[in-house]
Amino acid sequence: MLDIAQLRLAAAGVDAPRRDARLLLAAAMEVEEAALLADPGRCVAVEAAQRFADYLEQRVTRRPVSRILGVREFWSLTFEIGPGVLDPRPDTETLVEAALAHVDASGHGREAAWRVLDLGTGSGCLLLALLSELPNATGLGLERDPEAAAIARANAARHGLDTRAQVRAEAWEEVEGAQVDLIVSNPPYVRRGEIQDLAPEVTRYDPWSALDGGPDGLDAYRDLVPRLAGWLAPGGQVFLEVGHDQGGEVQALLQGAGLRTPAGVCDLAGNLRCVRAAAA
């Protein structure tokens, strides 16, 4: 069964056909992937086989596994996603790593009452990953799309973080008087003319509004950066995700707004993925 599924997915252009087939079969059988790895020849019930066939038909159209199953793992936490929510990706974990490194180097430690602001929270993955590591932190996530905001709230409840995480369905333009220690954001940064060149998993299933950064990919940063200093408490820092070739341009915008830009953080491929900023 897995061999045939792998061949079908490979023919459809899926990057990791064997692993995706195994993930879908495990989900259809309601077992962990490790169980299939340990016993690849185990019997498959009729109902599970039917579910697997349905999952496979969806994946052949390049619908992502996360969209088929409705969940994505991020920072070892499981997040519900939906049509209006950007599918979290491993590169975005770079922001969590950078923010936690700042916390660890601050002298206050992870037990301090950190205040976190997540702009364009989507599934809530950044905000909730940080709160999961900072037991006394509180956070606010802002999300324009009410349906996406509802998903972020559900994810907060899923992980028992809803008493420390507030999610509001509003744009960052509406924030007034926030004084926070950590700001994180993964704004839309794909150049409009390049969106159609992305993988079908992205162009067909991620919301356009979460991808489209305007003609040069920097529209959201031009809107966001001038507001940042007003939201930062003394000693606070901002962590922004950027496209693989946009780090220098975003750093220049931050410096132009009077912020300091310590060294950024690269992703696993060696690309500058996270730009940091602090009050001058």
pLDDT digits (tens, 9 = 90+) for 40-70: 777 888 999 999 999 999 999 999 999 999 9
- Per-residue pLDDT for 131 more than 90? yes
State residue 33's pLDDT score: 84
Please tell me the least confidently modeled range out of 45-49, 97-101, 180-184, 259-263. 259-263
Whether residue 189 is annotated as binding a ligand: the answer is yes
Determine if residue 262 is labeled as part of a ligand binding site: no
- For every residue of 24-72, DSSP letters joined together read HHHHHHTS-HHHHHH-TT----HHHHHHHHHHHHHHHTT--HHHHHTEE
* 267 DSSP β-pair partners: none
Q: Is 55 annotated as a binding residue?
A: no
How close are the terminal C-alpha atoms of the chain, in Å?
Answer: 60
- The verdict on whether residue 187 carries a ligand-binding annotation is yes
pLDDT (tens digit per residue) in 187-246? 999 999 999 999 999 999 999 999 999 999 999 999 999 999 999 999 999 999 999 899
Q: Where in the chain is the domain with CATH 3.40.50.150?
A: 71-279
User: Is 90 flagged in the annotation as binding?
Assistant: no
Confirm or deny that 136 is annotated as ligand binding: no
In this prediction the pTM is 0.92
188 labelled binding-site residue? yes
Q: Is 123 known to sit in a ligand binding site? A: yes
Q: Which architecture, in CATH terms, is 71-279?
A: 3-Layer(aba) Sandwich (3.40)
CB 224 within 8 A of CB 185: yes
Residue 215, marked binder? no
